[in-house]
Amino acid sequence: MNKALLLLFGLFFFWLPLLTTAQSYLAGKLDSFMQAQVASEKFNGNVLVAQSGKIIYQKAFGYRNYNTKEVLDNQSVFELASLSKPFTAMGILLLVEKNQLKLSDTLRKFFPQLPYSRVTLQHLLTHTAGLPDYMDMLKNWSAAKAASNKEVINFLAESRPVAYFKPGEQWKYSNTGYVLLASILEQVTGQTFSDYLTKYIFRPLKMAHSRVYLSKQTGEQFSNYATGYVYSDRRKRYVPPDSLLTYNFVIPQAGIQGDGGVHSTTADLLKWDRALKKNQLLSPATQQQMLAAQVAIDPSSGMYVATGVQHYGYGMGVGQNKYGNYLWHGGNRPGYATNLIRYVAPDVTIIVLANCTTSDNTSQVLKISNGIADLVLGK
């Protein structure tokens, strides 16, 4: 063995213990931070931190079911809420690459009964369509019945609520747009949204614990499900959101998909993040479009002001802060708050999923994500 090779081996075995010690020290700092969040902020959920795809910290805190006192573990499955939108966007872009769709295709090509002209798939993907909020229809919906995408479309066609602005004129976060994208996907493929995502995204990426799950429609149950809870000030404990009048829209909304509906684990979401990094599903050119700054975000939009995101791609937020450029999406609905962010240059991925929330649940997961970034990337 020559001297150069002996030197390399020597350096490797010299630095390996130091590297292991540094990683253990960082994991300890992260755990101390998370234990403080559990103690002071009552955080209940799962966290994963990875560097270049390698997990450096992963842990579960609290219960997945408060009634039975079953605890969360790293395989627990959470509702992602709006963190589902990147998957919807991916489904559409896969069809674009197969020449089954074009970004210039109009909404009325698929749903001519809708009154919104000149709205394209590009507008729907980037939240620039100006469509009215479908959640307005839920105000008059039975609190005990789940609505569906078809019923949302029928409501828009029959009630013809006025658009907020002309397509492309402004930016406004739109759940309606992503409901329509999921419905377009079903119309074009002849498959359910759930089956399509399973076949072309979850299965190829070996995301074995991920699925589209509409519990209030099917009544289906599966193991290790993290049930969502909200804190009741009056009862002084966590309760299911549909047990409170304040959240009478929860059951109707639970049957709608595209803007939400995807359920997953922290480990599966890391596989998803690596797929975006490595162009595993899309060509490099299309993947670059998805993660590019397609449109500037309206600075008055509350959720995005909180995250610091300045632009939106196709189903992904694009931002920059003191640690550099990052890709982001989160989700929020009664009982769940989710957050996935990757800092591009250092390739650090942070995933936070919560299933017991307060009225300020979005800020809690953002605070945790930002605190982890400070520990991992801060100087």
- Identify the structural domains of the chain with CATH numbers, from first to last: 42-377 (3.40.710.10)
- This prediction has a pTM of 0.92
* Cβ atoms of residues 57 and 31 within 8 Å: yes
Contacts of 16 by beta carbon, 8 Å cutoff, 6+ apart: none
- Let me know if 52 is a catalytic residue: no
What pLDDT does 142 receive? 77
Per-residue pLDDT of the chain in tens (379 residues, 90 and over written 9): 566 655 555 545 554 454 456 678 999 999 999 999 999 989 999 999 999 999 999 999 999 999 999 999 999 999 999 999 999 999 999 999 999 999 999 999 999 999 999 999 999 999 999 999 998 878 778 777 888 999 999 999 999 999 999 999 999 999 999 999 999 999 999 999 999 999 999 999 999 999 998 865 555 667 899 999 998 888 888 898 888 888 888 888 888 999 999 999 999 999 999 999 999 999 999 999 999 999 999 877 765 666 778 999 999 999 999 999 999 999 999 999 999 999 999 999 999 999 998 765 568 899 999 999 999 998 6
Cβ burial 231-244 (10 Å sphere, 16+ → b, else e): bbeeeeebbbbbee
Residue 147 contacts residue 55 (beta carbons within 8 Å): no
Q: Say what the pLDDT of residue 5 is.
A: 56
Q: In Å, what is the CA distance from 4 to each residue of 9, 12, 66, 82, 105?
A: 9, 12, 60, 53, 60
Among 340, 334, 335, 375, residue whose Cα is nearest residue 356: 335
Which residues, in sequence order, are CB contacts of 119 under 8 Å at separation 6+? Answer: 106, 107, 108, 129, 130, 131, 167
**Of 32, 40, 76, 82, which is the active-site residue?**
82
Three-state DSSP class for residue 354: strand
